[in-house]
Structure 1
């Protein structure tokens, strides 16, 4: 017989109550939670009516999701999120955030020094959200919104209600994952390297020593005999100083141009 050493490793993995990774938008997640709550309430009502009237345990017809039900569903998601990550959110490195549990909804909030300001109560005491989580990412995408806000604007929208540690880094990462923003901001192909500026732009020169010229805006004029004639403006632009000089010419012939010079 041979002795065999067997190593056994046990891990305590806490399963998630809610399937966070199954959703691509925050509104879908909230509405799913609202439907789940409505289903649970309907089952409870059915069981209660079955005890009261076993022969006719029908439940009442459920209404559509109201604003209040959506708000309750969002609060439920936040409670589940904070309960799953309470050990992380209550670490010593977050003590400076002055985290306290709210008396109204039981959520962990960051109590700052803005109580005397005229902003909303949610902005004064934002809800604490764990960083680098699916919920935080969806909140950033919601703040990024259909207008595709910039990093600073999206951060401002998030902090109207929530406080996410290391928000700027996560916001930049989320915006880089926005397909529409990448299509608009990224280059369609690799541009060639820039060359040196022309000599006439960087060397000291007299005004109108280097110029660009063009004709523009044909207009009608009258000669001393009150006869209408077409004329043009000849514009001289100094490339060095960006000064502009205008000359009125009667036509676009070489003779008129030489007279304008």
Structure 2
């Protein structure tokens, strides 16, 4: 705050003197502050351990100081005790009687004396005296600008091996940052499927077969062009694994040792807490570690938030069901503030005025037929009822979206092969067959990594079960 105050004081000084330079001759400018730390920063420049924001302020102070010196002015910085600081009076408060005769109006009396009579505690120094770290051929301001640019440049991530040879690890999926998490998973799943096909063809002609990773080995081979939920889940783990290889270094692991990070059987880094024997899901017991401020972390947060657009706490709980991201609350807040639907819904610019009744021809509704969908949990036999407007694929998908948003994602869905109702058997059978074979339905199911199962023909199972 004190550094910002000095920066603001120099800005105002520069603006005022630029207007008074033609009618008034000023020889020196004194900047007073009660912060010795800020004066130490101004004296000893450049610094690399104070952060980019402070360096930017120091650069601006140096530029304004040089501009004032080019106008023939001497710029001095001096320390003043807190009891003489007028700015503290506003924050600490004054009574009406004290304010009538307070130096808030005129300034401290000690500053009315000539500078030669000021006490030595002021420690006034010229800004030129603080340039002892200046290198030959480059000014201090140029050096500070170079440091700021160096701090802003992205650092190359190096992975240390046992032989101490350092190699650069490249994030293979960084080009997918422009896609959503679901689309990125589908792209990676297609690539992994192609790799499995190539490996199978090559192994048919090789004496020593190509050994795939454990993640690829656990995915069953299928001859259908559609992606399964298992392939989508494996693609998501592969995204996390490549992210961990490219960004998590031994130094970062050491700084996160309080999270008890270990490798799982698939060589994925997970946070092993104390909930291993709880009733939570496997991903919630030992969540995957994803570093903050990365494209993958933002994609995960956005994917969880888009499922119903919940608030900050609810979005954090959805993320932590499978992932552990350090400093999660700040990132979730940033993502929600950028969410256009949330901003439109929550931040109305003004209240709409009261409006009259709509015309009669706009209020006459149409009487249509509705259908009910029954979903039964196979574990607890709880029943979920929902209403669909018609038997179209779109209405069925919207019903699934509402069910997922309210009750969560099931691991598997079991549906019958044909209804046994007495009336409308043929029509309902064709509708259910079209729903189960529709590409849009299958894409929605695989995006959520759900397995769709069918009962045996002429079985007595329920219509659809969680």
TM-score range, shorter chain: 0.5 to 0.7
1:148 aligns with 2:309: yes
Give, in whole Å, the separation in 1 of the partners of 2:188 and 2:243. Answer: 13
Q: Deviations over 1:107-133 (max 9, x none)?
A: 111111223322122111111001100
- Residue 128 and residue 22 in structure 1: after superposition, are their counterparts in 2 closer, same or farther (change >3 A)? closer
Pick the aligned partner of 1:183 from 338, 344, 359. 344
- Residue of structure 2 equivalent to 1:174: 335
- Residue of structure 2 equivalent to 1:100: 262
Q: Deviations over 1:100-157 (max 9, x none)?
A: 1112x22111111223322122111111001100100011011112310100000000
What does 1:126-165 correspond to in 2, within 5 Å? 126-165=287-326
- Residue of structure 2 equivalent to 1:227: none
Are the equivalent residues in 2 in contact too, given 1:97–1:112 (CA < 8 A)?
yes
Are the equivalent residues in 1 in contact too, given 2:315–2:332 (CA < 8 A)?
yes
Q: Which runs of 4+ in 1 moved over 6 A?
A: none
Q: How big is the shift at 1:74?
A: 1.3
- Residue of structure 2 equivalent to 1:24: 179
1:69 aligns with 2:224: no
- TM-score when normalising by structure 2: 0.34
Q: Deviations over 1:193-236 (max 9, x none)?
A: xxxxxxxxxxxxxxxxxxxxxxxxxxxxxxxxxxxxxxxxxxxx
Deviates further, 117-126 or 93-102: 117-126
- Residue 84 and residue 189 in structure 1: after superposition, are their counterparts in 2 closer, same or farther (change >3 A)? same
- Residue of structure 2 equivalent to 1:122: 283
Give, in whole Å, the separation in 1 of the partners of 2:250 and 2:348. Answer: 40
Partner secondary structure for residue 91 of structure 1: helix
Are the equivalent residues in 2 in contact too, given 1:88–1:130 (CA < 8 A)?
no
Q: How big is the shift at 1:12?
A: 5.4
Partner secondary structure for residue 241 of structure 2: helix
- Residue 93 and residue 34 in structure 1: after superposition, are their counterparts in 2 closer, same or farther (change >3 A)? same
- Residue of structure 1 equivalent to 2:70: none
Are the equivalent residues in 1 in contact too, given 2:261–2:272 (CA < 8 A)?
yes
Are the equivalent residues in 1 in contact too, given 2:176–2:184 (CA < 8 A)?
no
Are the equivalent residues in 2 in contact too, given 1:34–1:70 (CA < 8 A)?
yes
Pick the aligned partner of 1:109 from 264, 270, 283. 270
- Residue of structure 2 equivalent to 1:83: 245
Give, in whole Å, the separation in 2 of the partners of 1:89 and 1:109. Answer: 17
Q: How big is the shift at 1:26?
A: 0.5
Are the equivalent residues in 1 in contact too, given 2:177–2:295 (CA < 8 A)?
no
Give, in whole Å, the separation in 2 of the partners of 1:172 and 1:180. Answer: 15
Give, in whole Å, the separation in 2 of the partners of 1:180 and 1:161. Answer: 25
Are the equivalent residues in 2 in contact too, given 1:82–1:89 (CA < 8 A)?
no
Q: Deviations over 1:139-189 (max 9, x none)?
A: 101111231010000000010111000000000000011110011111325
Q: How big is the shift at 1:88?
A: 6.7
Give, in whole Å, the separation in 2 of the partners of 1:49 and 1:110. Answer: 40
Q: Deviations over 1:25-75 (max 9, x none)?
A: 1010100000111222233344455779xxxxxxx9553211111122111
- Residue 168 and residue 20 in structure 1: after superposition, are their counterparts in 2 closer, same or farther (change >3 A)? farther
Are the equivalent residues in 2 in contact too, given 1:140–1:158 (CA < 8 A)?
yes
Are the equivalent residues in 2 in contact too, given 1:20–1:134 (CA < 8 A)?
no
- Residue of structure 2 equivalent to 1:221: none
Partner secondary structure for residue 335 of structure 2: helix
Are the equivalent residues in 2 in contact too, given 1:30–1:74 (CA < 8 A)?
yes
Give, in whole Å, the separation in 1 of the partners of 2:278 and 2:330. Answer: 27
- Residue of structure 1 equivalent to 2:188: 33
Q: Which has the higher helix share?
A: 2
Q: How big is the shift at 1:99?
A: 0.6
